[in-house]
Amino acid sequence: MTDYPIAITLENFQQIILEQSKSTLVLVDFWAEQVPESVELKNLLTTKLAEHKDTILLTTVDCLTQQEIASQFGLQSLPTAVLIKDGQPIDGISGPQTDESIATFLDKYLPKAEDNFLKIAKEQFSKGKINEAYTSISSAYQLNNDRADIKLLLAECAIQIGKLSEAQSLISSIKMVDQDSYYQTILAKLELAMEAADSPEIQALEEELLQSPDDIELQKKLAAQYSQVNRYEEALAILFTLVQKNVDEGESKHFLLDVLKALPEGDPLASKYRRKLFSMMY
C-alpha cells in the first residue's frame, strides 16, 4: 500500500477495517468534494498523521463513490472521522474542526515524548548500556512520574548503578494494581542488591574505621569497597575528604575521577562533585 491516505473501497474494506485494525489503529475519514469542511479535515489529518503511520493508519471514504461503506458506518453528517480498533469504532470527531481540536483528539492515541524515551531506554538496557538507559528513562520520568512502567525501569536501572535509595523510593510508590510480575522481579533484585551493598567485608572495614578514623589506607579500602557495590555517594564523600587533605599526592583524586566516570551522563551526583573539585582548585 503506497498510497496515503488509503482510500477505502469494497475490495479492501475487510483487509483494512476488519483485519489491519487488529494490529494498528485505523482512522476512517469521511469526505465529499462538495463539502469543503470535509476536504479541509482530510487535508489536516493527512498532514498531522504523515509521521505516525505505524500508530494510526489514516484512511478515507469518498462518500460520493462509496455510499455503501458510508451507510455501513451509519454516517449522518460531514465532516466525520471514526477511529477503528479490532474492527470496532472506539472514538471519533464530527463537524468543523480546528488545529487545536484535532490535536486534542489525536494526542490521546499518539505516542508521548516519554514513550519515545522509554523505548530508547529499553533498547539501551537490553544492550547492557545501563548508564545510557538510566539517562533516557530519567528523562521519561521527568515528563511523567506517575506511570508504573517508567518507574519500574528507572528503578531497575538505579539498582544496576547503585542508586538503591532511589530504587527503593520508586518501588515503594508503585500502586497495588501495578504490582505485577515485573514489579516482583525488581523488588527481588533490590533486596539482593541491598544485601550485597552491606557485605561483611564492608561492615568490617566500617568497624575498623570507627576505631581508627584517621587511617588513610582504611578509608581508601572502604571507598574501593563502596565503589565495587555501586555505593558511589559514600565512596565519593570519603575520597573528596582525602583530596581536600591532599594526603596521598593525587592518588585519591584519580580514584575519585574514576568513580565519577562510572556515573551516568548528567548524574546530579557527578555534577555535585565536579563542582566541588572545581571550587577547591580555583
Q: Can you state the angle between helices 148-160 and 113-126, rounded to 10 degrees?
A: 40
Asked if residue 5 has a cis previous peptide bond (ω within 30° of 0), the answer is: yes
d(CA 100, CA 59): 21
Cα–Cα nearest to 52, from 97, 4, 88: 4
Query: pTM for the whole thing?
Result: 0.58
Relative to beta strand 25-31, strand 80-85 is antiparallel
N residues, the chain: 282
Per-residue pLDDT of the chain in tens (282 residues, 90 and over written 9): 457 899 999 999 999 999 999 999 999 999 999 999 999 999 999 999 998 888 999 999 999 999 999 999 989 899 999 999 999 999 999 999 999 999 999 999 998 889 999 999 999 999 999 999 999 999 999 999 999 999 999 999 999 888 888 999 999 999 999 999 999 999 998 988 888 777 888 889 999 999 999 999 999 999 988 887 778 888 999 999 999 887 666 888 888 988 888 887 778 888 899 898 888 776
